[in-house]
Structures are given as C-alpha cells and as structure tokens.
Amino acid sequence: MAKPAALVLLGAWMAGSICMSVVATENFHTVDRLLAGRANVTFAADVDRLGRPQTRDLLRYLSSELNRLYFQIWNWTQIVLGAAVLALLAAPGSPSRSVRWSRRGTIAMLAIVAVMLVWLTPEIVALGRSLDFVPRDPVPPGMSRFWILHGAYTSLEMFKLAIGIIVATMIIRSRR
C-alpha cells in the first residue's frame, strides 16, 4: 500500500508545481484583463480617478505579493510532500533497484526544493520587492538579475518535474 500512496503524493507534488506556475502567470494576466475589460462600473470609475498606470502598478504589486506568498508556502509544502514520499519508499526489507532509484530521485527533487526554499526564492522575493514601483524605462538595475533568477527557478522546476516523471515510472516498475 506504500507505493500507491507514494505515487498519489508524488502526483500531487507534480500537479501542485504545475498549478503554481499557472497561478503565478495568471495573476499578472488578470491585472491586464481587468484593466482592459473594466466590466464593473465602480472599478472603471476608480481606475479613471486613480489613473490606469497607477492602478496597474498597484494591482501588479498585489499580484507580486500574492505570488511571493504562494511560492514561499508552496516550497514548504513541497518539503512535506517530498518527505512523505521518501518515508513511503523507505519500506523495511531489501528494496528493489527501482525503489532505490525512486528514493534517489525523490532526494534529488527535495534537494532542488531546498535550494529554492533557502536561497532562490528569498533572492527573488528581495530583488522583486526592490523593483516594485520602479519605472521600467530605462530598465532598472537589477532587472536582468531578476530574470536570470526567475529563469533559474523555472529551469529547476522543469528539471524537478522531469525527475518526478522518472521517479513515478520507477515506482510503477517496482510494483510489477
């Protein structure tokens, strides 16, 4: 029963990572959709009173803060999910080769999350906050570093998902 449970938790972990990427992206797209649609009369009047650029900056700041919070919570959640998967794969007895590789893969996934939790996410959060409400023309100092860090985070997420697919495959193989 441990291996099916490990597969479920691994699936939740991977699905959560994909959902976080979608949520983070959609938070910013929603700002532009709201400003373009202006379906709510009160909202449209408030935008007109404050000004579109100022409203956009405020809403994007809110989206940024929400994303920062979500990613910090998600990183801790991933640690819990990964530890649970690892515990489920640590069944007593001599494990098969597939289970040993599944454990190693899960440890690699946890290591990636640890790097994100301890270093990458705090760096992105701090740098992102320093860039909030800073004019984008000319490009502010720090923006290229922000995109490099963002790219590193995205790359690590993709790598972690690829490892997750391999781990799931190994767990399934070990059940046969």
pLDDT computed for residue 54 by the predictor: 95
pLDDT computed for residue 95 by the predictor: 79
pLDDT computed for residue 176 by the predictor: 62
Q: Give the 3-state secondary structure of residue 51.
A: coil
pLDDT computed for residue 131 by the predictor: 96
- Domain containing 89 equals 2-175
pLDDT computed for residue 38 by the predictor: 85
- pLDDT tens digits, one per residue of 15-38: 999 999 999 999 999 999 999 998
- 111 to 67, 69, 131: CA distances (angstroms): 22, 21, 29
Structure tokens at 175: 């059940």
Regions of the chain with pLDDT less than 50: none
**Dist. CA 10–CA 170, nearest whole Å:** 12
- 68 to 19, 25, 103, 115, 160: CA distances (angstroms): 15, 12, 30, 16, 20
**Dist. CA 66–CA 20, nearest whole Å:** 11
Residue 122: phi and psi, rounded to 5, are: -60, -35
pLDDT computed for residue 92 by the predictor: 75
- 7 to 36, 110, 171: CA distances (angstroms): 42, 16, 7
Predicted model pTM: 0.92
Contact 75, 115 (CB under 8 A): no
pLDDT computed for residue 136 by the predictor: 86
- 39 to 7, 22, 36: CA distances (angstroms): 44, 24, 9
Total domains in the chain come to 1
DSSP 70-125: HHHHHHHHHHHHHHHHHHHH--SSPPPHHHHHHHHHHHHHHHHHHHIIIIIHHHHH
pLDDT computed for residue 113 by the predictor: 98
Rounded to 5°, the CA angle 170-172-176 comes to: 110
